[in-house]
Structure 1
Amino acid sequence: MSSLTQPLLKTEDWLQRSAKHRSRALAWTQPARDRRARGEKHPVHDFLHTYYRLSLGQLERWHPGIGVNLEDCSEARQMFRQTHYLFREGTCSVDPTQLAPKARTRLKFSLQILQSTTKRPPNFACHGLHEWAMLYDGAEVRHGETVPLRLPRKEIDAVVHSRPLHCSHFDAFRFFAPGAKEMNRLQPDLRARDENEQPGCIHANMDLYKWAAKSLPWVSSDLLWNCFRLATKAREIDMRASPYDLTSFGYDPIKVETPEGRRLYEKLQRHLADEAQPLRESLILQLTKTLNAD
């Protein structure tokens, strides 16, 4: 579909959408800026702004995404870079023909990960033991500056020994303590990550935000935002199931060291996977449109 035959958003309409997006983003980004100014850290929310490289300003910025035409105006000329957008005959839209080779390679890799993930059955047997495995056998307490442990180190090690480790996500597995890595059923690595990613994994679903962020401005900010909100839910579950005590931040623990806690974790993990499925499909659709555009 050529840019001139795509749906057209009038200036008033798309400016309203842009303002709405910025407003909802500011509800998250401004508190993050305030914490930075005070030298404070939040064990759940700040992870999304540090581990994932999208800046606060980029999260606030609105993009229509592939397949949407905007009515051209002075605001459009100020908001959108001509290196990514085409201004023609009174319209403005993202222009996939300007996709640089490096960016095309990045989008292809993101699409490959997303597509391969959808082809695998979900696995809900990990029970969130990755944070436990990272602390195994006296390993560094990664979040010690922000929150204390809720269990003694010996009990944490005992939990790691008591349950099989099923981590399939490289970016979680790579932080395992050496002794815990040896106990993991899989040995995921960076080169073969598309062979291990699966849709039940809480980190694979959290990473939808990463793939959306890496795909701007070709994917829409609405989709980016939905992936961000899913990531916040995933991070909350992630840390509640950890051996850290987050009660001072208002989070009750999911005690995966108990049968009841494991059942609760799996229930929440399944709900998250259900929410992630349509977002993953939308990312695949928008990336495919971008890469296949004339």
Structure 2
Amino acid sequence: MVVGTLHSVGHTVLDRHDWQSVEAAHQHRADLLTAGWRARQQSGEVDSIEDFLFTYYPIKPSLLRRWHPGAGVELSDAQLLDSRDYRWYHATASGRVVDAAAFVQAKGATLDFIERLLSQTAARAAQFSCFGLHEWAMVYRQSSDQIRHQSTPLRLSQSATDAVVESHKIACSHYDAFRFFTQEAVPLNALRPTRENQPALEQAGCLHAGMDVYKWATKLGPLVPGDLLLDCFELARDIRVLDMRASPYDVTQYGHSPVAIETEAGKAEYVRQQRAFTARSNDLRGRVVAAIHTARAEAERAAGQQPS
């Protein structure tokens, strides 16, 4: 982490050498994280596990590669940065800084929603009894041509897959998983998540809620420092592996063994990893919320400097 000097107007200032070094390291890290997806785009191959990170979350590798320092950090000698890539910046006497005031004014409702959702999710008791059954409910009583991931077969027969759903309590709290349940599976869910009640139901034990920390971070654009954005992406990538290993799909073609949640051993392994992901996701939720607080503080500081 590069530590800059405190400018007289309150910004931390990074000199050109320092911020370009951090930017280059960020770009290298992002390139490594997106290498597989970019190669498959050229070859036409499919990876039902990792491709999800670029299709369900429609964030291009170029956006992951773009580094931002976060609000309150001035980049010295950055006047020549392409303004198309740095829309939410404004020029200073010596460089550029995120225009937190403009961002907060334009996207205040989004910031409010994300802060409320992430804060309430982290504060709520995590649940560790769902065992990833949302993925099973998405293929419940489907014919072979209806299966969502056509390139990845089920590891059990359809009847055996349906039996797993029918022999467990389904209690999915995540709207963006529940909305993909088959029509026959919807009545089996103990909860009725909606977009409106999402802040009241979301809980940190949910794998998809953990992956979505990445989604919320991307919606904050330049307010989120580059290292935080890539940390969120890495968490989503790691969770996605468990999500699919515990699913009804056969993921051995991607080099992964199943986490057979229909067995007691599989359930125990799922919960072990789920608890670790819960801790990681709550740490990132706190960091994203802190980035929002920093932006709001910068916006208030800027407003205080306006001539009356």
Partner of 2:107: 103
Tell me the SS of whatever aligns to 2:23: helix
Does structure 1 conserve the Cα–Cα contact (< 8 Å) formed by 2:101 and 2:296? no
- Superposed CA RMSD: 1.8
Percent of pairs identical after alignment?
39
Does structure 1 conserve the Cα–Cα contact (< 8 Å) formed by 2:73 and 2:97? yes
Pick the aligned partner of 1:37 from 36, 42, 50: 42
Partner of 2:278: 273
Deviation for aligned residue 1:81: 5.0
Does structure 1 conserve the Cα–Cα contact (< 8 Å) formed by 2:7 and 2:13? no
Partner of 1:15: 20
For 1:8 and 1:286, locate their aligned partners in 2 and report how far apart those are by CA, in whole Å: 17
TM alignment of 1:132-151, pairs within 5 A? 132-138=136-142, 140-144=146-150, 146-151=151-156
TM-score where L is the length of structure 2: 0.90
For 2:62 and 2:9, locate their aligned partners in 1 and report how far apart those are by CA, in whole Å: 30
TM alignment of 1:22-101, pairs within 5 A? 22-75=27-80, 77-78=81-82, 83-99=87-103, 101=105
Deviation for aligned residue 1:211: 0.5
For 1:226 and 1:23, locate their aligned partners in 2 and report how far apart those are by CA, in whole Å: 14
Partner of 1:218: 223
TM alignment of 1:127-276, pairs within 5 A? 127-138=131-142, 140-144=146-150, 146-276=151-281
Does structure 1 conserve the Cα–Cα contact (< 8 Å) formed by 2:104 and 2:295? no
Deviation for aligned residue 1:109: 1.6
For 2:42 and 2:234, locate their aligned partners in 1 and report how far apart those are by CA, in whole Å: 24
For 1:57 and 1:79, locate their aligned partners in 2 and report how far apart those are by CA, in whole Å: 15
Deviation for aligned residue 1:233: 0.6
Higher mean alpha-carbon deviation, 20-29 vs 261-270, is at 20-29
For 1:191 and 1:39, locate their aligned partners in 2 and report how far apart those are by CA, in whole Å: 38
Tell me the SS of whatever aligns to 1:42: coil
For 2:110 and 2:52, locate their aligned partners in 1 and report how far apart those are by CA, in whole Å: 23
Partner of 1:115: 119
Runs of 4+, deviation exceeding 4 Å: 79-82
Tell me the SS of whatever aligns to 2:82: helix
Deviation for aligned residue 1:2: 8.5
For 1:30 and 1:264, locate their aligned partners in 2 and report how far apart those are by CA, in whole Å: 29
Does structure 1 conserve the Cα–Cα contact (< 8 Å) formed by 2:37 and 2:51? yes
- What residue ranges of structure 2 are gaps of 5+ in the alignment? 1-5, 301-308
Does structure 1 conserve the Cα–Cα contact (< 8 Å) formed by 2:239 and 2:277? yes
Does structure 2 conserve the Cα–Cα contact (< 8 Å) formed by 1:3 and 1:93? no
Does structure 2 conserve the Cα–Cα contact (< 8 Å) formed by 1:133 and 1:176? yes
Q: CA offsets per residue over residues 128-174 of structure 1, 9 Å max, x none?
A: 01110111112621012x21110000111110011101110000011
Deviation for aligned residue 1:74: 5.0
Flag the 1:44–1:3 CA change in 2: closer, same or farther, 3 A.
farther
TM-score where L is the length of structure 1: 0.94
